[in-house]
Amino acid sequence: MHDLSIVTDTLRTILTGAINASPVFGGGPPPFSVAVSGQHPETPAGGSDCELNLYLFHIAPDKFLANSFWTQAAQSGGSGGKQPVAFEPLCLDLWYMLSARAQSSYVQEQQVLGIAMQAFHEHATVKLPTPTPLPSPVAPSEVTLTLETPTFDELSRLWQGLGLPLRTTAQYRVTVVFLTPPDLPPPAPPVTSVNLVSAPTDPPADPSLPRLLSTRRTVNYVLPGPANKIFQQSPASTAPAPAGVGGQVFELDALMLADTDHVRLVSYDSNGVATETDVTATWKVPLTLPYPTPPARGVPFLLRPPAGTATPAGRYELVVTRPSEPGWRSNAVPISIAPWIDPSGGPLLTASGAGIYTFAVRNVATSGASLRLGTVELTRIASGATPDPGEWQCSGGSLITFAAPENLPAGNHQIGLRVADVEADPALWAVV
């Protein structure tokens, strides 16, 4: 909002409606003319028997919300050399004087003033036809209307400052009124790199034994355009894609690994009981061996869940054991097993003539799975059923069909697949 008179006019509308429908006058307008004015009390409305005056006489900042809209983006000052404070809404409290003056009858003054105060009492919260501040404006906005209790001395000095005789007066405070900036600073540029700093830990009892640091994977997918998108992911998330599909190999970041070490996958049931499975033979990606000289910090381990793995989507851990050290076990690092979306024919996916979209997947469970178009989540139905708008189904855990919601705007919407709270790599965008 940029116009304070909107507040005054909204309050005047409340007063006018109350006077014209008051039970004091039998539910209709009064038998004398009343003007509801927002002018300075010195300026009479003219042509009416009684004037009800609502005058904005004081404005002050609201100290409770003064810094509530601070943003990092605003600190740059935006364009045009504006200072950061220019992008924060101005939070104000407004003080009004409510008084009445009749030409010849104190009864008219007091009747009108009483009706006005009762109307304000019934409207402790007032809606304004303006939105709340950016960046998430909501219309209408709301303010509160409070009857203040100034002292007689304060009111006397106020009327003396106006140069007018003292009148019967009620004082009201309207809070909080936002004078919003016309625009916001441009958004901050996207993050291009992340640095992770950690505190040192106690040195291992035997520095020759492996120590796991994390899992790391390079994610590579195609955006509409088309355009390639590459980023590093740690901890890693991988999926049991078909053998001919690349991109699911991840590295076990560690120190002092040897070729003969074994990798074990750790899963937990609902009671927190751990189960370990040796996945060395099925997950380890062969490297050129032997090394001419073993690396001083250990050999690299590349891993990938095989296409026929029975490991369902979810969150797991990896540990390492050494056959030459019976009973020894390394620390654990996290790894997520994700569902997989077949990107074939993508990245844009179009519907059939019946409005049905179809694409291949892997590792989609019968429960705990969700499908989204952008941020809109679809409703899952029974396997094999024909989806209506806003519904999806998965046949045999390998083929998903869905229909877009009816109110979804036209455009390309990313298909998001999540199983057991693990997200599949981006692969397809539905053309709506």
Per-residue confidence at 185, pLDDT binned at 50, 70, 90?
Answer: low
**What's residue 155's pLDDT?**
87
Relative orientation angle of helices 5-20 and 106-121, to the nearest 10 degrees? 110
Segment among 143-152, 156-165, 181-190, 387-396 with least mean pLDDT: 181-190
Mean pLDDT score, 29-54:
90
pLDDT digits (tens, 9 = 90+) for 193-219: 777 777 666 666 778 889 999 999 999
Pull the structure tokens for residue 299: 């050999």
Distance of CA 215 to the CA centre of its chain: 29
Element (H, E) at 13: helix 5-20
Per-residue confidence at 399, pLDDT binned at 50, 70, 90?
Answer: very high
Integer Cα distance of 366 and 72 in angstroms? 43
**What's residue 225's pLDDT?**
85
Element (H, E) at 373: strand 369-373
Q: By 3-state DSSP, what share of the chain in percent is helix, strand and coil, each rounded to 5? A: 15, 35, 50
Q: Phi then psi for 391, rounded to 5 degrees?
A: -125, 160
Per-residue confidence at 73, pLDDT binned at 50, 70, 90?
Answer: low
Per-residue confidence at 76, pLDDT binned at 50, 70, 90?
Answer: low
Contact assessment for residue 378 and residue 392, using Cβ atoms and an 8 Å cutoff: yes
**Could you tell me the pTM of the whole model?**
0.55
Domain 211-337 falls in which CATH fold? Immunoglobulin-like (2.60.40)
Q: Give the CA count within 13 Å in the CB-facing half-sphere of 263.
A: 29
Architecture of domain 340-431: Sandwich (2.60)
Contact assessment for residue 182 and residue 82, using Cβ atoms and an 8 Å cutoff: no
If one counts every other C-beta atom within 10 angstroms of the C-beta of residue 392, the result is: 24
Integer Cα distance of 32 and 102 in angstroms? 10
pLDDT digits (tens, 9 = 90+) for 217-265: 999 999 998 889 999 999 999 999 888 888 899 999 999 998 899 999 9
If one counts every other C-beta atom within 10 angstroms of the C-beta of residue 13, the result is: 12
Residue ranges covered by each domain of the chain:
5-179, 211-337, 340-431
